[in-house]
Each structure stands twice: as C-alpha cells, then as structure tokens.
Chain A
C-alpha cells in the first residue's frame, strides 16, 4: 500500500533513533525516559523488535559465560529458610498457565523462548530479512538463531510469545497501549493520531531537506484533537529545527528535533511548557543520537493548551525542576 510505504519511510528516522536506544534497554540499564520511549516506539518499528529479541537472546547466552569456579553452599541452608506451604498457598499458585507475572526485581526481562528452528538434518534454518520485514508489519519473527541443536519446533511458539511480550510491554505505556488498540480495534481516533505523528515526521524531513519551508514563525495546525507546531519561532541555535505534536485528549505527544549542538557529557536537553512569568513545566529530557536527531515522547501532567510556549534548554544531566539556562529554541502553542 502506498500510504503504508510512506508511513514506514516517514518513521525511519524515529526507528533509527529507537535502534540507538535498544542496547541499554535490552540489557536493562536504560533510563526511565529511554525505557518509556522504547516501549512507545517499538510497535511502530518491526525491525527494532527483531533486534531487541536478538539482543535479549545474546544477553541470555552471556549469562552462561560467568565462571563456575565456586561451589554453592549445601542445600540445607536453603531448606532451613523454606516457609511451610499450606493448602491455601497451593490453591493460590494454581493460576492460569499463561498468566503474565512480574518478577520482584527492577526491569526484569521476559526471557523469551528459543527462537531456533531446526531442519530435519539438524541444520539451523535462518529467516532471511525479506521474509520477516514489511512496512508496519506486526509480529516480526526474531532473526537471531540459537546455535545449539536442541530447540526444534518452537518457532511458532516463539512468534506467539514474542507477540505476547510485545503486547505486555506495550501495556506499560499508555501510548503503546493506544497503538496496540489501534492495531486490534481499528480505533479511528488513534489512527488519526498516528497519522498526525507520521505526517509531522514527514514534514520535518521535508523541512530539513528544504530549508525554505522552515519559516521563521511557528505555526500550529489544529484538528479535532491533534495539534502540532514547527519550531523555532525563536532560536538561539541557528540550525535547529523541531516538530512538536500532541493529542489534547490524553496530553500525549512527541518532539523531534535536529540541528541542536552536541552537549557536554554531564548535560542534557530538557523540554518545557512555558506560560506567564517564569512558570515552566518539564516534559522530560532527551539526548541526540549519533545522527543528531533528538526524540522525546511525553505525557504532560497538565493540559498543554494551558501554556503559551514550548522551549528547549540545556540542563544538568538528569534534568531540573525549572529551566536554568535560556531556551535554545522556542515555539508557540
């Protein structure tokens, strides 16, 4: 479909940015902001989901590299700590086999099943990229293959499990949940929202490619619930261009920016809503990826329309509660 093709192309820079965040996310060390962004964008980027599955499998295998030099203590020490199991306890454990559970640890992964497909002769079958790719295709198949000749017949299960994991992760972020709902329920309003973001990204690309379209003033397009603005209306960073889009129903939105200067190690960019004299509300912090693109997915704690401007400033790593430096770029709401 032509529209799907266009959407996929428009999402390419966003998905590229997502790929840059995947390693730390896959290994469980992403910041909260990064994790939210990854989980929100994953449903839009099938290739990133495939890469994430691969990275997690690499992580699983990395675990087996730890040395086995030391003998564990005798089992008796463990048995002494065991609480008695009561009948009620047993009953409580009889939960649906496929229920989703949360580990009692931070950011615990959902170790996926082996994705290995084994042919009758014992040779591993590899999914070629074209087989699994496609614009906005749901349920991509992991391409990373286990090497050991042990996990035959689990390919379909792996795909199903990957979908389940995708849905679970998506449910953690409202936007991802909305997109999931879009796929399954075809909600027209969400389709419009996704389209608005896609269009905005496309216009950003067009603007970047054709500076004549950038204009000096921000403009805002109002549809029923979706709004967007091109920055800067004012700028202290000459090359900076940004697109800001949000949904006024749920106050969820995204900022995509290019042309900002590279920061020092202990600095970060922070996006603000601004009104009146010095009233600012942080929408979160973001960094630039290797290609100079910065992306922030946010949910505002207050109605965005209650503010008059948006601005981006340079702040200490981790962000601040109020801007401490002048805004590099400012846009009108």
Chain B
C-alpha cells in the first residue's frame, strides 16, 4: 500500500536527516536501480549515469528536507530530479547521444520489459497507451522528455518545421490524457 511505502520512505528520510548511513543504504537498495537506469537511458553513458545517480542520493543525504510526502512519491521525486540532472548534464557538457528517432524504437521495445514496479499499474497502462501513439508523435514526446530537446532542436534534427513538432507534442499529450481518462472510466 502506498501508505506503507510512503511511511517507510518518510521514516528513512527522517533517519537520514539524523545522519544514519544505514537508512541511506536502505534507500539505495530500494531506488538506485530505477534512478541509475533512468540516468543511463538519458545520458547513454554509464560513467555519467553513475555520477548522476550518486548526485541524487548525495542531494538526499545533504538536504533530505527537500522531499516531503506532499511532493508525491519519493521514488517519483528522485527520478524526476535524476531526469533533470541528467538533461542538465547533457546540455552542459554537450554530451552527444544518439538522438535519431530510430533509437527510440529501442524504447518502444523496452516498453514491454520489466519496469519500475512501484507504479506497476500506471506504468502498464501508460505503456499500452504509448504504443497506440503514432510513431512520429511518440518520438517527439520521448525526444522532448528523455533528451530535453526543445521543439526547435528537434525540428532541426528531423528537418521538420518547429510548428509541426509542437503540434505533434501537443497531440501526443492530449491523446495520452484522453485515453487515460477513457481507460479509467472503463474500469468503473
């Protein structure tokens, strides 16, 4: 249950506030894998991904108060921080990733593999909805979210007008939102 998970996470954070390394180790055991793999997916560089993952845990060690239950799940918050740190690193160091759209077929394949279990039901639903999106819209969404590329940057890479990219991004999110609601309604 989320209550238990959040309560456990909160207890760990409180212990980390007191300087308890064992609590940090426990947190690492819980969330290092998804945080590391997310950073690795964004950066496509294991060394940089390890640095980002450690930076996320160091942030929690040094400033555990930055997360609170009001901000959502700790796991989601950590992954969100990791994503931003990774994209920031991409931009700062101009790390060259394979941002050709073909590379995102790989993620489409990954959409069917094991993912973070804590949000398994949400993940499964979104995975199925992502597969329903037209490839061109899914690519733009993934390039935006996991590479941090602006519409203009994607337009330049794909040799497509910026307006078209913006339109595809908007359509992708609108469809996901609509389909999500439909799926929930069908369950009622």
Contacts and interface: CB of A to CB of B under 8 A. Distances in A.
A101 B177 contact: no
B40 A70 contact: yes
B140 to A, nearest CB: 10
B29 A75 contact: yes
Contacts of B38: 63, 66
Given A63-B80, A111-B71, A123-B188, A144 B37 contact: no
A63 B54 CA distance: 18
B177 A54 contact: yes
Contacts of B155: 265
Contact of A290 (B71, B77, B83, B167): B167
B177 A146 contact: no
A123 B166 CA distance: 35
Contacts, number: 237
Interface string B51-82: 00110011101111110111111001101110
Interface in A100-146: 101, 103-114, 123-124, 126, 143-146
A133 to B, nearest CB: 15
A277 B68 CA distance: 57
A276 interface: no
Interface in B24-63: 24-25, 28-29, 32-38, 40-41, 46, 50, 53-54, 57-59, 61-63
A22 B25 CA distance: 38
Contacts of B167: 290
A151 B2 contact: yes
B169 A24 contact: yes
Interface in B143-174: 144-146, 148-152, 155, 161-163, 166-167, 169-170, 172-173
A93 B63 contact: yes
Interface in B109-156: 110-111, 113-116, 118-123, 125-127, 130, 141, 144-146, 148-152, 155
B19 A66 contact: no
B70 to A, nearest CB: 5
Interface residues of A, number: 79
B48 to A, nearest CB: 13
Interface residues of B: mostly helix, strand, loop or mixed? helix
B81 A77 contact: no
Contacts of A65: 107, 110-111, 115, 123, 126-127, 130
Interface stretch (A26-34, A193-201, A247-255): A26-34
Interface stretch (A7-15, A81-89, A178-186, A323-331): A81-89
Contact of A55 (B130, B177, B183): B177
Contacts of A123: 187-188
A189 interface: no
A240 B70 CA distance: 47
Contacts of A101: 63, 65-66
A157 interface: yes
Interface string A185-212: 0000000000000000000000000000
A67 B119 contact: no
A78 B176 contact: no
A224 interface: no
Contacts of B183: 147
B88 interface: yes
B181 A126 contact: yes
A77 B18 contact: no
B12 interface: no
B17 interface: yes
A24 B144 contact: yes
A26 B162 CA distance: 18
Given A65-B123, A68-B33, 13 more contacts: A23-B144, A29-B149, A60-B80, A61-B126, A64-B123, A67-B114, A69-B37, A75-B32, A79-B25, A85-B61, A111-B73, A150-B2, A290-B167
16 contacts: A24-B150, A29-B149, A69-B37, A72-B28, A73-B36, A78-B54, A79-B24, A81-B58, A93-B63, A101-B63, A101-B65, A111-B76, A145-B180, A147-B122, A147-B125, A265-B162
Closest 9 A/B residue pairs (Cβ) = A150-B2, A85-B19, A72-B36, A148-B121, A105-B84, A67-B110, A72-B32, A64-B116, A63-B79
